[in-house]
Amino acid sequence: MIERLRPDHAPALLTFELENRAYFAASIPDRGDGYFALFAERHQALLDEQDAGLCHFHLIIGDGREVLGRVNLVDVADGSAELGFRIAEKAAGKGLATAAVREVSTLAATTYGLTSLRARAAVDNTGSRKVLTRTGFVPTGEKITLDDKPGLSYLLKLA
């Protein structure tokens, strides 16, 4: 189930980030110790950005109310946003990311009024690249660097 980020999500979200820190760091840049030390302030800052319409943050919530993933739309401007996602190690490979990205893409068009989404993935992050392709994102051909690794840019037209 997808839920828009709320203040009461903070404890479960922190648990998710801590439990999966090493797993995420294997494929994307680590958030660093400061992220965890100042988590309450960071969570409030995200809520403030969301309230201002600059970003839209979503959590994937499991049956036991635990956070299984995140799908975020950031840098909202001119009808577009950048999509990013991360899934808990124990939930990976089960189609959860694909379903969540599809759901948030629909929200982007129907609720947030966006017309396109951008995304990026490291070339060696085959899981993320598969999710993007399965959900309709198309490689733009632009080669980028993500944490000193080669990456690709993707685009999804919503309208």
CB contact at 8 A, 131 and 100: no
**What residue ranges do the domains of the chain occupy?**
2-157
CB contact at 8 A, 86 and 20: yes
Q: Is the pLDDT of residue 159 over 80?
A: no
Average pLDDT over residues 20-42: 88
pLDDT class of 12 with cuts at 50, 70, 90:
very high
Q: Which pLDDT score, from 0 to 100, does residue 97 have?
A: 96
Backbone phi and psi for residue 64, each to the nearest 5 degrees, phi listed first: -90, 15
Helix, strand or coil for residue 148?
coil
| CATH class entry, domain 2-157 | alpha beta
16 C-beta neighbours (distance < 10 Å), count: 21
Q: Is the pLDDT of residue 34 over 80?
A: yes
Q: Is the pLDDT of residue 27 over 80?
A: no
Q: What is the pLDDT of residues 126-156, one digit of tens each?
A: 999 999 999 999 999 988 998 788 999 999 9
Q: Which pLDDT score, from 0 to 100, does residue 29 have?
A: 74
